[in-house]
Every structure is written in structure tokens, then in C-alpha cells.
Amino acid sequence: MTSSETIVADRLSQVTSAWSPANTPSSPAGITLPCIHCGLPTHCETGTHPEQVFCCAGCLGAYQLIHGWGLEDFYALRDQMKLTGAAQAAGKGNRYEQFDQAGFLGPSKPVALNDGTCRAEFAIHGLHCGACAWLIENAAAREPGLLSARVKMSHHTIGFVFDPAAIRLSQVARLLDRLGYGLAPIDPQRDDQVHQENRRLLIQIAIAGFFAANAMWIAIALYAGDYSGVEAQHRYFLGLIGTALGVAAVAGPGRTFFVGALASLRTWTPHMDLPVALGLSVGTLVGSANAIAGRGHVYFDSLAALVFFLLIGRWIQFRQQQRAARAVDLMLRITPRHASLVVAPTDQTVESEKMVLVDTLQLGDLIRVAAGEHVPADGQVVQGKSNIDRSLLTGESQPMPVGGGDAVAAGTINLTSPIDVRVTATGRESRIGRVMQSVEAAATEKTPIVQLADRIGGVFVVTVTLLALVTFAYWSQASLATATAHATALLIVACPCALALATPLAIAVGLGRAAKRNILVRDGQALQQLSGRGVMWFDKTGTLTEGRQRVSTLQGSVEGLRLAAGVEASCRHPVAQAIVLDAHRRGLALPTSARLDHVASSGVVGEAEQQTIYVGNRQHLEQHDIVIDAELHRRLEQLAASGESPILIAVEGVVVTLLGLSDPVRCGALELIAELGRRGWSMGILSGDHPQIVSGVAQQLGLAPERCFGGLSPEEKLAAIRESRHAQQTVVMVGDGANDAAALAAADVGIALRGGAEVSLQAAPVFIASGQLSSLVTLLRGAKATTRLVLLNFALSLGYNLVAVGLAMSGWISPLIAALLMPLSSVSVLALTLAWRSFEETTTSQSQAGGVSGERV
């Protein structure tokens, strides 16, 4: 907070307490003093407050704001124009008080955060380009109580965090209104708002096109008259008509540029509308003066055409931003758009169902979800039983049974039977909605290169304005008309719209295309970090391997496997399931008379075909006094050394079968490691599994043994990640969003392949929903392509402006040509961004890479 803002805040607190009704004397008989800001009567009598009195807290805030920002000349201008109190109050009133009423806000109702602050999101009207967003965010940063603000150009919304004890929503709305932007609650039918904004822009373009076309016809007549001869009075009359058309174009459709420029001046924040408005003003004033005097250039054709082409450029930006928004809007791809609403019976009707839009669902509504359908909203089951697939949210592969009273989440799949659900949360407040908000936030996340572009854009506006003054002073030696034309051309052609648009648009489009590949990116900065090289650590289980046990070696009697499978058939342990699966794969008939008697962490004891069966590791069998000779010890050590988990099967106290269980290497893992090596990445494994098993997997994948560690606790994984970061290189952790949360969060970039979207995106900025290893290569390629596009866009826009400024200062560009070139730069950036190939599918082979499936019997 600046010193002036601190003074404003302190003074505001002091005077507000003095102004409160409890401290304000009121006497109908006394003569009240006028408000020093608006002139309306106050509650203060003459002599009560001799220095400064105010009729309301709004006038007090406006007065302190004006003085805090050094705009005291406002009162001098007000007095000169004899503004009355009634006229001053006409624009105030209680226009924004409804923002403090919860019923008015709808979906924009603030959400309380843990630290006592609130987060809210509103629709914002009047946005034109990236500079508008930049102006709003910088002005908001000066307002006490507004902790952060972020404008999403693609959605025409603003999200901000504020302290409700320090500022009200009505005050935020007033602040934006002073800047020339309107605040409104988000309409659930947001597409209608987009259509309305699109229609408004097209109407402005049509009006500007009408003025430009007619102004051009008059200009053609005048140019033809220079060769064929035209009477002076006719030329004078046509000049006045053409000038009127140009002024109408500037004052009507061109008004939007002056709104942005005035907001820039109010807040002392550079805005790209400032040089455009200055150029239009200079051209209008000089052209009008020349038209009235009947001499020199009038510029009316250039002015009207300039407004027309600038508005076309902004409309193209608006349309492309909406395309980017649709690419990033992931919720429609996960949750259904319609729901079956259960209508309660009445005296005249029976219970019925009707299809409604999910956006119209209210808390407490009863919906029916058929088998095979996605659940449209968070809720509680009130009738029916079914199984729910929650893999998207939680990463659980096993369906979860649900019944009356159980909670279900939007985006999950009802698998077996219809259920009735009472709605508890919808849309953005649902679990999947909150996940999607974190993904959407990446589209407005300002990476270091975007912040650099913002800083350059602010300096650029000031520099261009100064260069225009230098150009005008230099060319004024030739003539005033020449100086005006060249300075106007410079102010117009050097609009840095492309600078502000290039980097955020490239990142937003990249994130949208990644989402289409089932790669959810929460943090846009992750793409920039993944574009280079560094060290990449992998968890083993479920990441490089399939995450399930499988019998890879059988030594001894197959009959022992058959009997063990009969005992283990009712057990859900992964080792038991692997034994049963392998018996079925071999076509063995399981014993019909088998039971499981005892289950321990190291193994089981049961009976099959009237024989006692022992299944487990070496310690389990030794606990039951079963002898393991030296030869068997040697075989156990060989299996462990090869990365397999040895399991013994004993019948009536005698070991008959030795199994080797392993977690097979995943399809594509070998190709992935080879591709990462070609890209210059260093790789290693951080696993909680046995070191010998980790060593065996490393050997299969060709990884260096000294960079593969087993037997690590979550804390030890975290320590390894932190130690790697000391080497000043990008550190990436790839693992399970739930089990590896700490390590994923500690890395520069965490990539979750398992664990569900909800928990994964809380721990890691990247979640690969498909779980495919080939998507990791797609991510790296897309990140590199997106970063390359950001740099190319930035270089293109900056290079264009440097060349354009040079040509304008040297007199090679007229205002009309400048109007044509200025939107061309933004259009070029947009076209390049949309045509750029990123996040294309990889062609990684899907052959089995090192899968251990052969027998050694």
C-alpha cells in the first residue's frame, strides 16, 4: 500500500467514526452545512464541524479517494461547471446497494475462506482486450480490502478475494464503475451473456461501417474534384458533412476507446486505449478546425475507417477468446447437462419425472439417476441401492456400494440400479466443480513470461505516448498537418494489444488442448517448467508397473498351486487374487471342499481335500515349524534378487511349490524411459517397495541402479525431492496423487497418474486422467510447443511494434494504413496460436515392454 493510500485509509476510518449517526448532532431548527463533495444537506449544524462535512459515507469515500490519488482538480472543474448537488447525486443513489444483498447475487454469492476472507466471481461488462484486464487488476490492487483480483477475458468474469470487514461488494462495484466497467452476478445461462456481448460488438461495427462507408464516398468525391475541378463552396460543404460523419464515428462507436483512456487517467495506470484515444482526439480536433477554416486536411475518412477497423480487430479477439474458453470449460465434458427431476405427487397428480437443465437444479431437489448415467450433482441417496464408479474423483478402481443416506458426487457413474438422490450441491460448488475451478484458474495464472509481458506493456504505452510527442515536434517544422498525421499514425499503429494478448492466449489454448487429451493442468507455470529438462523421479507401484501382483515364476508342483487357490478363493488379498487368477489361467479345477481357517499378515492356513495347506512367505512357514532347507533358501534368494516376491506353498507340513510374484512393468514403460533419455532427462525411482524388487524393475527398464531407491517412507521420498531441488534444475515427481501427495507437492512439477482428479490436483499441478504413460510424452511435447509459441508470439508482437513505430516516426505510414495494420498484429497472433500444433497424440508403441510373463519351472 502506498503512503497516499495509507493516509486515505486512516482518514477514512477517523471520519467514518465521526460521521456515524451516534456521533452526529441533528436539530431541525439548526442550519445544516452542505456536503463538501456533492453539496447536499448534512446532519451537521453550522459550527458543529467547521472543516469538512459529508452527507454520507459514499461521499466521504469518494472525497478521500480523489485526494489520495492526487485528483483535487475535480472540485475546481465542478465549481466552474456549476454542478448542482442533484446532478451529482443522480449517478450515485443506491444503485449498487443490492450487491450487499445475498438474494441478488445468486451464483456469485461470496464463499467464505478459512482465513476469514471471502472469494467471489462476477460477470464484468465493457472488457475489450487484455489491457482492460490489466487496468482493472492494477486499480483493484490499490483498493483497501481487495486482496487479489483476476480477470478472465475468455469468460468476461472477474474473481477476487476480499476482506468483508474492510470492503463491501457494493464498493467494489462502484470502483469498477468509475473505471468504466459494469459488474453483475453471473448468469447461469452464461452463453446468453456471450451472445449479447457479441451482438453489441456487431452493432457497433455496423454503425462504424455506415459512417466509414459514407465518409469514404465523400472523400472519393473530394479527391476526384482535385483533378476535375470543384467549386469552393461545394468543397467546403462536403468537407463539413464528411467531418460530421467522422466525428459521429468517434463519438459513437469510438466512445469505447475514450472510456478506457479516461479510466487509465483516473488511476494513473497506462492503458493501450490511451494512445488510440489521443490519436483520435488529435485527428478530430485538427480535422474539425481545418474543415471549419476551409483549408488543410480534415482526416474524416481516416477517423471513421480507423474506428471501424479497430472495432473489427476487437471483435475478432473476442471471438477467439470465446473459442479458448470453450476449450478450457471442462465441466461439460464430465457432468451431464440434463437431469431427471422427480416431481412430488399432489392431490390431483401422481409422482412424475421431467428433464431439466442441471444449471436449474436447486438445493433439496430430488433427482433420479438411471443405471449407466453420470450423477449430475452432489447429493445424498434417499431411495435405491447401487454401485458407484468414483474413479474420476478418488482413483478407486473398485465400485462402491451405496444405499439410503450415502453421499454421491457429481461426475461419478451409477453402475447397476436406479437411485433417487437429494441434491446438496450443484455446478461450481460441487466436488467436481471445485476441481474444475482449480483447472480453470490456470488459464489466468500469470507465469513469469506473462508477467514480463505485462510490465513491458505498461512501459510501452508510456513510451509510445512520449515518442508521439517527439514525432509531432519534429514534423511540425514541415507543417502542422504533416506533424498531426505522423503523430496520429504512431499512436494508432503502436497499440500493444498483441503484447497483452499473445502469452495468456497461448497458455489458455494449450491448457484447453491438454484437457482434450485427458491431461488436466492446474498451474500454467508447469508447462513452462516442463518445456526444458531436469530430473524426473517415478514412484514404482502403479506408475512404472501395473500395480497388481501376478505369478511370474512357478517351481515345483502345479498341484500345490491348485490346492492353494482353493484355500485362497474367498480371500481378497492381492497375493491371494494373483494365485487364484494364475490357477484359472492354467485351467486348473479348484477343489470343492476347501476352507480358509487362519489369515495373518505373512500368510494363510486352510484345508483342501482333507489336507492342511500353508501359503505365505518364509517367516510364515517357519512359524508353523515347517523346515526350509539350504537349497530352498538359495532359490528364495534368487527370486528376491530378480525382483520377485517369493511365496511358499506347503501341504501337510512339506513345501511342494515355490511361486515368484511380481508387479509387471506397464505397457509403454520401456519406450517412455527411452524417449525421456533422448530428451535429456535424468530419471530415477523413489519407492516404498523392497529395494531388491526396485532394483529388478530398474534393470528391466535400463535405469541406473544408483538412482533407484526402495524401502522409502513418504518422509524419505519428500527429503529426496528436496535434496534434488538444491541442484538448480527442474525436479519432476510422477506418482500416485493420494499416496505420493507430499512428494508431488514438494517437486517443481508434480504429475499424478493415479489417485483421482480431486486429490491429485490438490497435491500436483498436473493430473493425467487416462493414466497412460504415453500421455506423459504428449505432455512434455505439448509443454515445449506451448512455451515455444509463447516466445514466438511475444517476439512477433514486440517486433511488429518496433518496426511499426519506426515507420510511423519516419513518415511512411498514414493514419488509415495504421488503422489497417494495428488489428492485423493481433489477428496474426490469434491465427498463429490457433494454428500452432501442440498436445498432439503420440505414436508410442503399445507393445509389451519388459512384461515378465514367462515361466521358469
pLDDT less than 50: residues of the chain: 1-31, 45-50, 74, 77-94, 324, 327-328, 330-332, 395-397, 442-444, 842-857
The domain that contains 620 carries what CATH number?
Answer: 3.40.1110.10
Number of compact structural domains in the chain: 5
C-alpha triplet 223, 226, 229: angle, nearest 5°: 130
Residues 633 and 566 placed together within one structural domain of the fold: yes
φ and ψ at residue 263, rounded to 5 degrees:
-60, -40
3-state secondary structure 673-692: HHHHHHCCCEEEEECCCCHH
Residue 635 lies in a domain: yes
Residues 651 and 688 placed together within one structural domain of the fold: no
pLDDT of residue 850: 35
The domain that contains 731 carries what CATH number?
Answer: 3.40.50.1000
Block residue for cell numbers 512384461: 851
Residue 443 lies in a domain: no
Task: Read off the DSSP letter of residue 158.
Answer: E
Residues 75 and 107 placed together within one structural domain of the fold: no
Q: What is the pTM of this model?
A: 0.53
Residues 623 and 672 placed together within one structural domain of the fold: no
Block residue for cell numbers 508353523: 624
Which residues are known to be catalytic?
539
CA separation for the pair 277, 457 (Å, rounded): 17
Beta bridge partners of 595: 607
The domain that contains 116 carries what CATH number?
Answer: 3.30.70.100
- Find, among 220, 224, 277, the residue nearest to 251 by Cα: 277
Residues 340 and 425 placed together within one structural domain of the fold: yes
pLDDT of residue 316: 62
**Residues in Cβ contact with 603 at an 8 Å cutoff, skipping those fewer than 6 apart:** 614, 615, 616, 617, 620, 621
Residues 539 and 629 placed together within one structural domain of the fold: no
Residue 713 lies in a domain: yes
CA separation for the pair 574, 586 (Å, rounded): 18
> What are the residue ranges of helices labelled H in 549-629?
558-568, 574-585, 618-623
Residues 695 and 641 placed together within one structural domain of the fold: no
pLDDT of residue 672: 92
Residue 528 lies in a domain: yes
Residues 528 and 609 placed together within one structural domain of the fold: no
Residue 467 lies in a domain: no
User: Last residue of a domain, which of 188, 208, 242?
Assistant: 188
Residue 587 lies in a domain: yes
pLDDT of residue 322: 60
Block residue for cell numbers 541406473: 704
Residues 704 and 649 placed together within one structural domain of the fold: no
User: Last residue of a domain, which of 702, 734, 769?
Assistant: 769
Q: Where in the sequence is the domain holding 693, given as residue range(s)?
A: 519-546+665-769
pLDDT of residue 647: 92
Question: How many Cβ atoms are within 10 Å of 405's Cβ, its own excluded?
Answer: 8
CA separation for the pair 24, 603 (Å, rounded): 83
- Find, among 344, 280, 345, the residue nearest to 307 by Cα: 280
Coil/strand/helix, residue 670: helix
Answer left, alpha or beta for residue 483, where phi above 0 means left and psi between -120 and 50 means alpha: alpha
User: Last residue of a domain, which of 188, 207, 225?
Assistant: 188
- Full DSSP string of 107-146: GG--EE-TTS-EEEEEEEE---SHHHHHHHHHHHHTSTTE
Residues 670 and 642 placed together within one structural domain of the fold: no
Residues 85 and 175 placed together within one structural domain of the fold: no
- Express each pLDDT in 62-76 by its tens digit: 666 566 555 555 455
Residue 36 lies in a domain: yes
Residues 610 and 699 placed together within one structural domain of the fold: no
The domain that contains 402 carries what CATH number?
Answer: 2.70.150.10
Beta bridge partners of 650: 614, 655
pLDDT of residue 86: 30
Residue 303 lies in a domain: no
